[in-house]
């Protein structure tokens, strides 16, 4: 009997072809929606491997339902959707997909920063709707990026890549991290100093119990009235209602969000009513090349686990 691999969302044929030659691959057939919870639990009963998405909640209930499970390979760098304590208890390996998405996520981060600063989405809508009547001296004016101060919260590989891009814009770059780094032309700042002095605060830290809700009303009140908050990490790091109030009351100038606490974000979410918010559907790593490289890491980990070889990118 071949080991069973269950994939919780439809992936390109080329991403699963090699696994299909050796294992019984079962894959949820929908590309735009993940497998329902009941399907995940049903397939977990027989699966030897789960290939999961960041939208899948892999908790103790899943592990308890899966007596044959050897590995969960998560298509993401983050793995806050997986209960690592439960995985360890059941002797299940958990892997992620680091490194290969660094550059694409940094590109998107800077694109979101620029779009927010220069009101790109708002201006594009004005053209399409016919609201653009003529050039005006202060029409669609945004904020300078070149020469501004960038504050990065979470200076990992993606943070470094964003800093490299910021140097090309002549930005003054600050960062705050659990550990100080020896980085050229980038200065460490205490958390409060970074918030108070940055024109753009970019969140790139993982979602952990320590970082959950780390940007709330108190922190937003420290920021400049002309500042923008950019979040491409995880939605739970920012108190969304506090952000809504800060933007509505013009405590800060704008926000660019690629992530939300609930995804997809509800269409009636208050943040979506504000013109000074640029929103994206969690596409930080969404290039063809990057996503295929991430999938290759997942498949490689599953194969290594079944072949009793060293498994790369283990988080548990």
> So which residues are the catalytic ones?
234, 263, 282
Question: First and final CA of the chain: distance in angstroms?
Answer: 27
Q: b/e per residue, 128-152, with b = 16+ CB within 10 A?
A: eeeeeeeeeeeeeebbebeebbbbb
122 to each of 96, 117, 152, 265, 279, how far by Cα in Å? 36, 11, 25, 19, 11
CB 28 within 8 A of CB 34: yes
């Amino acid at each position: 009997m071949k080991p069973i691999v269950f994939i919780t969302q439809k992936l390109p044929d080329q991403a699963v072809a090699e696994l299909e030659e050796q294992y019984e691959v079962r894959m949820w057939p929908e590309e735009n929606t993940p497998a329902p919870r009941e399907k995940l639990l049903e397939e977990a009963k027989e699966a030897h491997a789960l290939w999961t998405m960041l939208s899948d909640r892999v908790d103790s209930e899943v592990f308890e339902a899966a007596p044959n499970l050897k590995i969960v390979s998560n298509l993401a760098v983050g793995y806050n959707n997986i209960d690592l304590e439960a995985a360890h208890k059941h002797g299940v390996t958990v892997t992620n997909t680091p490194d290969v998405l660094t550059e694409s996520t940094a590109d998107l981060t800077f694109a979101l920063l620029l779009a927010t600063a220069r009101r790109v989405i708002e201006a594009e809508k004005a053209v399409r709707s016919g609201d653009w009547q003529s050039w005006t001296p202060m029409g669609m004016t945004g904020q300078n990026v070149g020469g501004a101060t960038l504050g990065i919260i979470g200076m990992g590989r993606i943070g470094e890549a964003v800093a490299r891009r910021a140097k090309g814009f002549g930005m003054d770059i600050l960062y705050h991290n659990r550990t100080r780094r020896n980085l050229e032309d980038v200065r460490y700042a205490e958390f409060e100093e970074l918030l108070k002095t940055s024109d753009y605060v970019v969140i790139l830290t993982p979602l952990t119990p320590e970082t959950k809700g780390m940007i709330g009303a108190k922190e937003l009140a420290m920021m400049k009235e002309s500042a923008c908050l950019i979040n491409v990490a995880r939605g739970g790091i920012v108190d969304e209602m506090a952000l809504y109030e800060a933007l509505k009351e013009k405590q800060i100038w704008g926000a660019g969000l690629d992530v939300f606490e609930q995804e997809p974000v509800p269409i009636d979410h208050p943040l979506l009513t504000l013109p000074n918010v640029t929103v994206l559907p969690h596409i930080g790593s969404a290039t063809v090349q990057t996503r295929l490289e991430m999938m290759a890491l997942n498949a490689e980990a599953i194969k290594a686990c079944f072949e009793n070889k060293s498994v790369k990118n283990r988080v548990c």
